[in-house]
Structure 1
């Protein structure tokens, strides 16, 4: 799998009866592909993986594969107990995805050897390439990360922790052994806030939640950073991303529910989030709408 550009994490639309709204998901993903996404990560964190059944996960994967039509890689999430991961990866392989984003084991904190055993078991039960999501109770040491990278089907690590010193040691250790072809991703919430730090570690790839509802802003920032246009990048950080993060941090779960609300504000009726997440309050929704309008005007100017 090769990724070039912003990594797109679409939301999962729900119909009034609670089912996955496949037509809206197809439109959402098609727009993202046509706007220049470098990869589609469907039914992952922003797509409420935690709230989807295996059958719904497979539905989302099939829709994404069809919408992407081979233009960019399609990755879908799997995670939790090993028997469940086996069911998920089998369904994803049948759907035709290009790879799996492997989320942490459910709840328990394991020793480092247990984490290796977990990832190895997943890779041995499926032929799909695996990207390990480093977060919560699955944070490998640099030595463990190097061992994971040696597993035949592990192709990348996505960081959701934000420990820069740890990532620096991990990147250096893994690339010394596995070469530059191993993928690292900045997967922090509102990753634009940490793009400069991760680029300093040799990690230019990042996921953009903003791309899901304001691709104009996300692409303008991505182009500015790539071109070394620090004036524009700083302007967008100050005028849009910093206040967005301040709003995001006012309630747990807003890293997902604000994104879904933003998609609704841009005209796609994707529904609300599933419990235990909560949709934004009226006040927060009003603030998001004003911030979105301001961000779009800033880009246009």
Structure 2
């Protein structure tokens, strides 16, 4: 990866189903973060284009969500691609993506756009959570994407609870893992530091930079709590937000730190994959012990 990578995680507050308005504001964030803070990678949360989902029992909402979802490439990637060209930054955005051939089939996607304005990576959410299963087909490929910044990998919110995904991405060469969230305050609870702790854990386990960008704002009685974070290869927290304001969390990623951590703890040499087979055994095989 590059010696230094400047990143901005934008705790964006989406307006429900207002794709043109949301994308216009995101493009402004891209150009401002690049111009004022030198951002080379600008990240937006899960489903930033449409806002987070509501129950499919609301037929009117479900119909509008399908109508608001887009192809990739499409209007959102074209608009953010233009902002990327003007600013010279990479952009990662979460969006509701239409299947290219099958009507009314959607993916919950993280999309990577490079400074030329081209879409250079798409990762479909592998583990849809709760009501998301009513709308979104799970992804069946885990990918990494070479860039001028380093090799990037993408995952989406609930994916972070499955350490196997980040490990697969790291074994494929990932140096920076970008995780997009739309995490809301659970009823009867207060916002937690779960994003910070999970970023630090995934980073330390894999000796990678791990970036967790959560949204903010309210929608349909859901209050999204921000608290985005950036963790380094040793699990150290490089930057974090302690609130739910719409703002950016900024950090500088040093390539030398990744190299030093991998020299210090040789986790990839020390792995024992021949002992881990049970991790991939389906639950329907209880005899695998």
Higher RCO structure, 1 or 2 (CA under 8 Å, sep 6+): 2
Which structure shows the bigger proportion of residues in strand conformation? 2
With structure 2 as the length reference, what TM-score do the two structures score? 0.45
With structure 1 as the length reference, what TM-score do the two structures score? 0.44
Which structure shows the bigger proportion of residues in helix conformation? 1
